[in-house]
Amino acid sequence: MKKVIIRDQYWDSLKFILINFIVLEHTIALNAPNGSFNCTLHNLIPTFALPLFVFVSGRFSHIKDREKYKKGILKIVETYLFFQFIWQLIHLACGKDLNWNFFIRFFISPSWTLWYLVSIVWWRILILLLSEEVLKERPFMILASSFLISILGGLIPFNACFSLQRTMAYIPFFFMGYYSTNLDVRAYVKNVPIFMPFIVFAVMFLFFYFCLNFNLSYVMQCKVSYWSMPEMSIVQKILSRCSLLFLATLMSLMVMRIVPRNQIIAKYGTITLFFYMYHTFLVKLFQFGEKYGFIPKSEWILIIYAFLIMIILILLSRCKFFNLILNPVSNYIYRKGFK
Amino acid at 290: E
The predicted pLDDT at position 5 comes to 54
Q: What is residue 279's predicted lDDT score, i.e. its pLDDT? A: 96
Crossing angle for the helix pair 234-258 and 9-28, nearest 10 degrees? Answer: 130
Determine how many CB atoms are found less than 10 A away from the CB of residue 84: 20
Orientation angle between helical segments 164-178 and 49-59, nearest 10 degrees: 60
Specify the pLDDT at position 2: 43
**CA nearest 193: which of 258, 290, 117, 276?**
258
Query: Mean pLDDT, 10 residues at a time, over the chain (339 residues)?
Result: 64 96 94 91 94 96 93 95 91 75 79 93 95 91 96 86 92 97 89 95 96 87 84 88 95 95 92 96 90 80 93 95 90 68
Give the Cα separation of 103 and 266 in Å (integer): 40
Helices (H) and strands (E) in the chain, counts: 18, 0
Cα(16)–Cα(21) distance, integer angstroms: 9
pLDDT value of residue 107: 78
Q: What is the pLDDT of residue 337?
A: 61
CA proximity to 222, closest of 295, 281, 299, 149: 149
Question: Angle CA(229)–CA(231)–CA(236) in degrees, nearest 5?
Answer: 80
| pLDDT on residue 95 | 72
